[in-house]
Amino acid sequence: MNEVPSLWRQEVWHALSVHLPIVTLLLSTVFCILWLVTNTSNQSFFKKSTVVMLIIGVIGAWISIYSGEFAYDMAVRKICDPQVLKDHMYWAYFAAYTYSGGLAALIIFEFFITKSLVKYLLILILIAGLGALLYSGHLGASLVYNQGAGTYRPSGDCSEFVE
């Protein structure tokens, strides 16, 4: 009789770690846009929100990259089209580097360059990062839902679930 594998196997850690940075990085881009287009009374809130979401998101993105490296060896053996996995990794790295660069630019420009310039440059960086993030997420969903990467496939009669 087959045994149901543990939920805590290596390839599942990536799925557990990836969703928080997706949300926080997406929100950092939204808050940055709002920081750019709102009046002065709300700008401070949106700027602080952008910074907080970027810090959480960038840290989470690199944790997700790290956990994705563990999942790679398991996933590549079980999928039909490994090119999707390679593209997913490429765009995930691109997004992580882009958002990391955006955070660095925000910090550097805040202290050394005109403050109005930071908003316009930062929004371009974050929009590029968001595009990469969304495409990487699309490819990740394709890996899971189209190719079954990281998923457990029960036997035809589901006998492993019967005690």
pLDDT band for position 121 (cuts 50, 70, 90)? confident
Q: For 63-94, what is each residue's pLDDT tens digit?
A: 999 988 887 777 777 788 889 989 999 999 99
pLDDT at position 143: 87
User: Are the C-beta atoms of 143 and 84 separated by less than 8 Å?
Assistant: yes
Task: Give residue limits of the domains in the chain.
Answer: 10-151
Per-residue 3-state assignment (H helix, E strand, C coil) for the chain: CCCCCCCCCHHHHHHHHHHHHHHHHHHHHHHHHHHHHCCHHHHHHHHHHHHHHHHHHHHHHHHHHHHHHHHHHHHHHHCCCHHHHHHHHHHHHHHHHHHHHHHHHHHHHHHHCCHHHHHHHHHHHHHHHHHHHHHHHHHHHHHHHCCCCCCCCCCCCCHHHCC
Segment 120-148 shows an average pLDDT of 90
Segment 146-155 shows an average pLDDT of 75
Q: For 28-60, what is each residue's pLDDT tens digit?
A: 999 999 988 888 788 889 989 999 999 999 999
Segment 1-26 shows an average pLDDT of 80
Separation of alpha carbons 49 and 44, rounded Å: 8
In this model, does residue 1 exceed pLDDT 60?
Answer: no
Separation of alpha carbons 107 and 101, rounded Å: 10
Segment 120-132 shows an average pLDDT of 91
Write down the pTM of the prediction.
Answer: 0.84
Task: Please provide the average confidence, as pLDDT, over all residues in the chain.
Answer: 85
pLDDT at position 29: 96
In this model, does residue 112 exceed pLDDT 70?
Answer: no
* % residues pLDDT > 90 (the chain): 44
Separation of alpha carbons 106 and 31, rounded Å: 13
More confident site: 126 or 15? 126
